[in-house]
Amino acid sequence: MQIIRSAGEMQAWALARRGEGRRIGLVPTMGFLHEGHLSLVRIAKAQADLVVLTLFVNPTQFGPNEDLERYPRDFARDAALCEAEGVDVLFAPPNEEVYFADHSVYLTESQLSVGLCGGSRPVHFRGVLTVVAKLFLLTQPHVAVFGEKDAQQIRVIRRMVRDLNFPVEIVGGPIVREADGVAMSSRNKNLDAASRAVAPRLSQALFAARDAFAAGERDLESLRGRVLEVLGDLTPGALDYLELVDDETLMPVRGVWQRPVLMALAVRFPGVRLIDNLTLKG
């Protein structure tokens, strides 16, 4: 496995491989890898000749008082996992290789990014789109794989790719969960004991609504009520949002609905914010 830290070197490598007719798969991450990330690597390996995994904690997607400094990091561990999984290039640039000191250009999206996490984190998707566009330009992928746990993120990225004509296929990887149902996340490491004990309720609540839906329930308010019932008292956490939105447009769904519905929620625990989701398909 090759480790590259220079933006110029990364782009030169990618352009050379494309010139040879090699198909490049990209897995963008912020590091502190877990089985969810590794599952995305396997998807990329099945769809490309070469896999590039990027490891970059992107400062522009963190707002004031968020967990940029507390975000877990362990480069040696991540590199070992990448090598064992057969990653061809680990691209781990320092900040100055990604952003100039006086950088002033950002990408924004004005529809899909407004609600859900965009409502709670107003600068988040501006930072996500900007860094993903830069990573696409630096790694020149044919296909890029993102986890469906970040449901809004993958939809916003697909919109960017469509609207800006990026020649990149976006592939989603299913949510990978801990044994107790908690969606795998690098941030799980920062949960205190009390928060970790409550965290399984996020998936339990969503699964309860899914089961009610499978049994024939179609009233969205009833499904929402079922989620809130199972969530119960989240102390020491607090519900950030629970939304039922169109799976494609992310617009709120009311009354009679014919298209798949994304049920998404976020909970704030001390120092950690967790998200989870599932799609109801009638």
pLDDT tens readout for residues 188-200: 999 999 999 999 9
- Report pLDDT for 229: 98
Q: How many folded domains does the chain comprise?
A: 2
**Residue 34 among the catalytic residues:** no
Same domain, 237 and 145: no
The pLDDT confidence band at residue 27, using thresholds 50, 70 and 90, is very high
Point out the domain boundary residue: 173, 198, 219. 173
Same domain, 128 and 26: yes
- Closest by CA to 99, choosing from 128, 138, 60, 64, is 60
Rounded Cα gap, residues 30 and 264, in angstroms: 22
Rounded Cα gap, residues 255 and 263, in angstroms: 15
Name the residue range of residue 143's domain: 2-173
Same domain, 248 and 272: yes
Mean pLDDT of 180-186: 97
Same domain, 165 and 272: no
Answer yes or no: is 211 within a domain.
yes
The pLDDT confidence band at residue 227, using thresholds 50, 70 and 90, is very high
Answer yes or no: is 179 within a domain.
no
Count, residues in the chain: 282
Same domain, 247 and 138: no
Same domain, 37 and 125: yes
pLDDT tens digits, residue range 129-155? 999 999 999 999 999 999 999 999 999
Point out the domain boundary residue: 110, 142, 173. 173
Catalytic residue among 37, 103, 124, 142: 37
Answer yes or no: is 178 within a domain.
no
Residue 147 CA, distance from chain mean position: 5
Task: Count other Cβ atoms within 10 Å, centred on residue 11.
Answer: 16
Same domain, 56 and 114: yes
- Report pLDDT for 76: 98
Same domain, 59 and 166: yes
Answer yes or no: is 200 within a domain.
yes
Rounded Cα gap, residues 228 and 239, in angstroms: 9
Between 228 and 254, the more confident residue is 228
- CATH number where 254 lies: 3.30.1300.10
Torsion sign over Cα 24, 28, 31, 37:
negative
The strands making up 238-246's β-sheet, listed across from edge to edge, are 238-246, 261-269, 272-280
The pLDDT confidence band at residue 255, using thresholds 50, 70 and 90, is confident
Answer yes or no: is 181 within a domain.
no
Rounded Cα gap, residues 153 and 150, in angstroms: 5
Mean pLDDT of 9-25: 98
Rounded to the nearest integer, the mean pLDDT of the chain is 96
Rounded Cα gap, residues 186 and 167, in angstroms: 29
Residues 6+ apart with CB under 8 A from 172: 145, 146, 147, 148, 154
- CATH number where 115 lies: 3.40.50.620
Kindly report whether the peptide bond that precedes residue 270 is cis, defined as omega within 30 degrees of 0. no
Same domain, 160 and 201: no
Residues 157 and 122: beta-carbon distance below 8 Å: no
The pLDDT confidence band at residue 251, using thresholds 50, 70 and 90, is very high
Mean pLDDT of 261-282: 96
Mean pLDDT of 205-231: 96
- Closest by CA to 95, choosing from 127, 63, 53, 118, is 127
Point out the domain boundary residue: 173, 200, 226. 173
- Report pLDDT for 11: 98
Same domain, 59 and 141: yes
Mean pLDDT of 37-62: 98
Find where tokens 């109801």 sit: 280
Answer yes or no: is 180 within a domain.
no
The pLDDT confidence band at residue 256, using thresholds 50, 70 and 90, is confident
E-only strand ranges, the chain = 2-4, 24-29, 50-55, 89-91, 143-147, 169-173, 238-246, 261-269, 272-280
Mean pLDDT of 93-99: 98
Please list the helix, strand and coil fractions of the chain in percent, rounded to the nearest 5, in that order.
40, 20, 40
% of residues, the chain, pLDDT over 70: 100
Residues 6+ apart with CB under 8 A from 218: 282
